[in-house]
Amino acid sequence: MRYQNMFNKVSSSNHLAYIPFVIVGDPNEELSLQIIDQLVENGADGLELGLAFSDPVADGPVIQQAALRPLANHFSIKSGLSLIGKVRAKYPELPIGLLTYANLVFAQGIESFFNQCHEVGIDSVLVADCPVKESQLFAAKADACGVQLVFIAPPDASDDTLRQIAEHSKGYTYVLSRKGITGTEVAATQAKTDFLGKLKAFNSPPLVQGFGISEPKHVFDAANAGVDGIITGSAIVNLINQHYNSPQIMLEQIGDYVRSIAQAAHTDHANTA
Span between the terminal Cα atoms of the chain, in Å: 30
CB atoms within 10 A of CB 97: 27
Q: Could you say which of 29, 45, 59, 228 is catalytic?
A: 59
Q: Could you say which of 45, 48, 123, 221 is catalytic?
A: 48
Partners of 175 in the beta sheet? 153, 209
CB atoms within 10 A of CB 3: 25
Distance of CA 223 to the CA centre of its chain: 17
Q: What is the DSSP letter of 170?
A: -
Taking a C-beta distance cutoff of 8 angstroms, is the pair 228, 259 a contact? no
Residue 221 falls in the annotated catalytic set:
no
CB atoms within 10 A of CB 178: 15
Partners of 231 in the beta sheet? 19
Catalytic center residues: 48, 59
